[in-house]
Amino acid sequence: MTHVTEADLDDLEFDTLRTGEHRAAAVRLTEMADTAEPSQGGVSRAKVLLRAGEQFQHAGDHVRAAEVYRLAIEDGGEVYGDPRVYLADALLKLGETEESLSLLAQIRESKPTDPEVYRVVAEVLYEHGDLLGAHTWSTEGADLILAQPEASRGDAADSLEGLLRMRFRARVDLGRPEDEYDALLDA
């Protein structure tokens, strides 16, 4: 088996940004997933499938993206974030609101510890017009980070900024005044 590395995936996606050939990249990533072997420095099949799904979404093929996201979830291998969020986004774009909201409820019940999950859910909800949901998820994600001692936040600083920015956008659109979280963006 071929070992698919993060560098392989990054190179392919970088080329795709240059060419705009998202469908071709998605097909290539799907093929690569069939040969992915996470041992010896390779990435999991699930991670490659997740990235393939993202490329299908960039290409506007939300049906195929949803199929590939389902494969990533079924695979159960190591991934970034929570692939159910990406599936929920594709389903919303397909008008499958009930299933999408069910997935988001499952994610909430699992109490994610990764602040990026909260950020991505907030972005998905914001994009689909659920301002209150975006506000709630971004606030909960920010709370998750802010509950940690400042010295141990590490990489969470970027996540915190993204969450606070999303929260601020939702608050402005909801017509709410600035609050103590918004002041953190100025700090």
**For 148-181, how does the pLDDT look when each residue is reduced to its tens digit (9 = 90+)?**
887 777 778 888 999 999 999 999 999 999 999 9
Average pLDDT of the residues in 89-97: 96
On average, the pLDDT of the chain sits at 91
- Supply the pTM of this predicted model: 0.88
pLDDT confidence tier of residue 11, bands split at 50, 70 and 90: confident
Given this model, what pLDDT does residue 1 score? 45
Given this model, what pLDDT does residue 97 score? 95
Domains of the chain (ranges; CATH) run 1-105 (1.25.40.10), 111-187 (no CATH)
- The Cα–Cα gap between 48 and 33 comes to 5
- The Cα–Cα gap between 60 and 42 comes to 28
**For 47-91, how does the pLDDT look when each residue is reduced to its tens digit (9 = 90+)?**
999 999 999 999 999 999 999 999 999 999 889 889 999 999 999
Q: Over pLDDT 70: what percentage of the chain?
A: 97
